Amino acid sequence: MIYGIPTYDLPLMAAVAFLSYLIGSIPFGLVLTALSGNGDIRKIGSGNIGATNVLRTGRKGLAAGTLALDGTKGAFAVFCAFVLCPFHTLAAESLAAVFAVAGHCFPVWLKFRGGKGVATGLGCVLALMPGVGLCCCALWLIFAKVTRISSAGAIIAFAALPLLMIRPGRIDFSSPAYVAGCLIALMILIRHHANISRLLKGTEPRIGQKSA
């Protein structure tokens, strides 16, 4: 058994992981920019399919829509796990959260070249651990506003995620939610390796700044 899940329930958990990956892999940024006549978002700015790069098209509504939909798909994947696995809910939700973010970052439809997982990760964490999710959102917004650099807010928020999940007087490192949170944070920080390098060099673009 893993987290109390009997062997006969493992196929169901695998189905949850697969479904969550598919949900997470929906490239809303790419779809919205294409439908709006703004072309292929992968040929604009950083080439990323996330809301920050969509904002570089000058279309704030598209960026807001991308942010909302990317966050919603993360929360929806967790909700689907809640519905499908009533007996191993926390483990299933945690698995769904990890695979939804993985789907966004590495979508099979785009040759595994997806976004950086920030909005989807926040949606997953909000659904899995609402209090922690709100703290992450607050950190992201505060640091993004102060620095005017979205990646700085995202990096701070997800670097803090493992600490935010620690309950006062209790550190349950083996909890599936804690493991999921750490994996999500690690995935998103790795996807931001180039941003971290540019931040250290002082060359990271600011919010709304257009790139060639």
Count of domains for the chain: 1
Q: How confident is the model at residue 17 (pLDDT cuts 50, 70, 90)?
A: very high
* Residue 7: Cβ within 10 Å count: 8
Residue 206 belongs to a domain: no
pLDDT at 3: 60
pLDDT at 1: 45
The pLDDT tens digits for 82-97 are 999 888 889 999 999 9
Residue 2 belongs to a domain: no
Residue range of the domain that includes 105: 8-201
Residue 162 belongs to a domain: yes
Across the range 171-194, mean pLDDT stands at 91
Q: How confident is the model at residue 212 (pLDDT cuts 50, 70, 90)?
A: very low
pLDDT at 42: 86
Residue 57 belongs to a domain: yes
Residue 180 belongs to a domain: yes
Taking phi first (over 0 means left), then psi (-120 to 50 degrees means alpha), and beta for anything else, what does residue 113 get?
Answer: beta
Residue 137 belongs to a domain: yes
Q: Which of 59-63, 150-154, 197-201 has the lowest mean pLDDT?
A: 59-63
